[in-house]
Chains A and B, each alone.
Chain A
């Protein structure tokens, strides 16, 4: 069972990380190409606090997410002022910069050799609970004025400004929220895997998350989550194909992008099911 547990746990953590990408890229249309860096910040800060100052896990978790948010502020403030085209570059550069800082501060972070002996504080139930909790927060966010305004600005930034939306502030708020959530994914990862290394958080992970969001359907949080579930278990499913599995994975992704241009789910959300049934009752 450990096998299934480990897949589910790591998939759950990926789902939380992907929520960050979904908010920044899916909801707001800002191309986040360094989201995994926030996972690194959350993971490293919480783990270092736990190791060096014996901070209990809940406090470390809060500190980790807060640190990721702070990092988000650092990148977000200049980024929201930039042209849309540059955001992918800046977030990418930030991701690489974080890795170089982690490699360089070997005294604190263990450098390339990694940070070991992180206590195990995370198990499957906690991850599942966290997925549901974070998902509710993000879903409520999407469903509020913030979410509506984000979608508006993604669709047409100029028109959104004309409707009185303070676009820069909105982008920043969303960016910070996304950083905190992704940072929390990093916390969970650190205290599950008990080991962190900088190389794990490079741009290929951020790219993978983008793929997940787009395969699921850029307009659908449900889609992003289901696609995270499928795409992060798919390689396990394809183990029989050994080295070919990544190729099969890529081909499946290509087919979906080409033949379901709005992703698997388009803009369908699972919440419509009960909204619809509620309407049906009224009628």
Chain B
């Protein structure tokens, strides 16, 4: 007696991605910004905005991968500092300095990522604590390489990467598009799916045959490469090396990921959300300036806007929750555990 359980077969639609609401908020903020500062929508304005966003966006993209695997990582500012000072000291001296220094910083990022990954996955250290240690070490290494701001970045990196291509497409915009495209593809690779699995339930992943330790190691390594790339692009922005990347940048990398809708508990969210989160934090500065907010009001409004961005994200979670409820017959986990 085959039990036929009539269950409304749900149509293909996934619940609304939370990054959609972050995108809506970004558009609203950009509109207010461009109303008050007409130069916002000029090519130069957009190029400058993208150049200011790119470093935070790529660093938070790297961090997103780690948070999806239910781990945390503070070493981003450390790797960015090391990459920045390396580019400033090496890029003009090496043959083919531009490409050579890019490979070098990605290698350095990979190395630090592997060390972090090994400490967390194989030695079983708590990721927040051990990456705090590696962050301080990297900051030390940056100071040893270059004990004060200076050095010189190859002209190509400094001018071409922050300029536009074919006269109308900002290079930073191209790079961001490539990162988003890479993520869309990456998410559907086995490694991408494994990251979500490990982030949701490490024991179940282990029982499913996923190499949990290997996945975590590779996630830290990949994030390290992203941080190296972010450091490289910071060198393009500043055209110089500065061993002291500020701690406030570290907090904003985490803020970008959270505003983008990725849950800090792991298993839910994505890089696109974090890139939008980074864009929100960057346009916030421009918006506040254009609207005429100055002096200490900037801090007050920045704090307010960050909370508002999250409430927008929560709004999306509530709506998606309702949207899913009537469709599935057994909403047996009606209450949200978190």
Q: Please indicate whether A and B come from the same complex rather than being unrelated chains.
A: no
